[in-house]
Structure 1
């Protein structure tokens, strides 16, 4: 991210470029973009203005699902937002460049997750290794896992990647039990392309 930030003028812009490029059919409002990138609304508005002037994004009206509290049914509200402009002249080379730079090594992922508990197994698949048909992108196994800390770590990785991550989390005893029973989700992860970032269990 540091190299990209220097090239493109800041981490906020890099995260927004990834968000639009890796979700080309989606539209986002300013509040959602700020939440996904973990940047301030003011900074997001400034970057959106620059990206719009550059022809990278365009305005789009869409229906946003609003969650209602206290068990109320979700409602849809017409919202003004932004989406990728597929006519952007440098879209193809920019997408290829960001994909080539969107590599997360073992140390990087482990460092993001280490405060979430005692990590025993971290496996990546899906978006991390360009396998879109994988059931999950990230498998996490550990002891004394802290859900809130883990959720925040995942959101940080999502902000850096520009894409939502499908992930599965297990405490070590639960994972070992499922592994012994040839649980379908576990087998779908292990029997198809994946990479082990950390393995203190000894998975074959």
Structure 2
């Protein structure tokens, strides 16, 4: 259990709080909270009840597709179900945002450790959520040789569960990235031309001119 997990009582609570902090205008059902935070349904229900009692979240019905009992689950119908969202008037919201959001960002060595089985990494660049730039279109670019897409996707999902937010990322084989770079591909330029941090560079990228937004 990390320091914040010890401070707040459980890692599940920290992940769930981050989920609501990073998505302040989104409602989640109990099942969605459990899935996004990668915790059990029972743990999610318990932590949600604790957060509700302290006024951190509030109930908000959401419309979801559910199995139709009349057809024994063969079809689905749209139905209002119980959900939860962040209470914007929570007294210590700003303090928690600083602690849980700013303290959630992975350091470079930890990020590379998570990706060590992905393949022969050549370039890792982060932006967006990792440098607290909400205007960025991409949070991360990963470039390498013989990339294992499934392993990368699993590592990203694990990071998403900890951060409480879906990551926008792109992964390229080295040849494809070099081609896109030479063609001034929009996706690549959208991260290289704006604020970002180079975590790993074995390609020897030339100095980049970073524009302000």
1:31-77 deviation digits (Å, cap 9, x = unpaired): 111111111111111111111111111111012367xxxxxxx9744
- 1:5 Cα shift? 0.7
Question: Is contact 1:4–1:14 with CA below 8 Å preserved after alignment?
Answer: yes
- 1:103 Cα shift? 2.5
1:192–1:172 distance in 2 versus 1, CA, 3 Å = same
Structure 1 CA distance, aligned partners of 2:43 and 2:163? 19
Q: How many residues align?
A: 197
Question: Is contact 1:105–1:197 with CA below 8 Å preserved after alignment?
Answer: no
Aligned residue for 2:36, secondary structure, equals: helix
Aligned residue for 2:58, secondary structure, equals: strand
1:92–1:189 distance in 2 versus 1, CA, 3 Å = same
Aligned residue for 2:97, secondary structure, equals: helix
Query: Which residue is 1:140 aligned to?
Result: 142
1:77–1:176 distance in 2 versus 1, CA, 3 Å = farther
TM normalised by structure 1 equals 0.91
Query: Which residue is 1:50 aligned to?
Result: 50
Query: Which residue is 2:170 aligned to?
Result: 168
1:93–1:122 distance in 2 versus 1, CA, 3 Å = same
1:12-40 deviation digits (Å, cap 9, x = unpaired): 00001100011100000111111111111
Aligned residue for 2:96, secondary structure, equals: helix
> Which runs of 5 or more structure 2 residues have no equivalent in the other structure?
67-75, 207-213
Query: Which residue is 2:22 aligned to?
Result: 22
1:183–1:20 distance in 2 versus 1, CA, 3 Å = same
Query: Which residue is 2:97 aligned to?
Result: 95
The structure 1 residue matched to 2:83, chosen from 72, 81, 84, is 81
1:135-193 deviation digits (Å, cap 9, x = unpaired): 10010111111122111111111111111111111111110111112212111211110
- 1:79 Cα shift? 2.2
1:148-159 equivalences in 2 (<5 Å): 148-159=150-161
Which is further off, 185-194 or 97-106? 97-106
Query: Which residue is 2:5 aligned to?
Result: 5
User: Runs ≥4 in structure 1, deviation > 6 angstroms?
Assistant: none
Question: Is contact 2:21–2:97 with CA below 8 Å preserved after alignment?
Answer: yes
> Which runs of 5 or more structure 1 residues have no equivalent in the other structure?
67-73
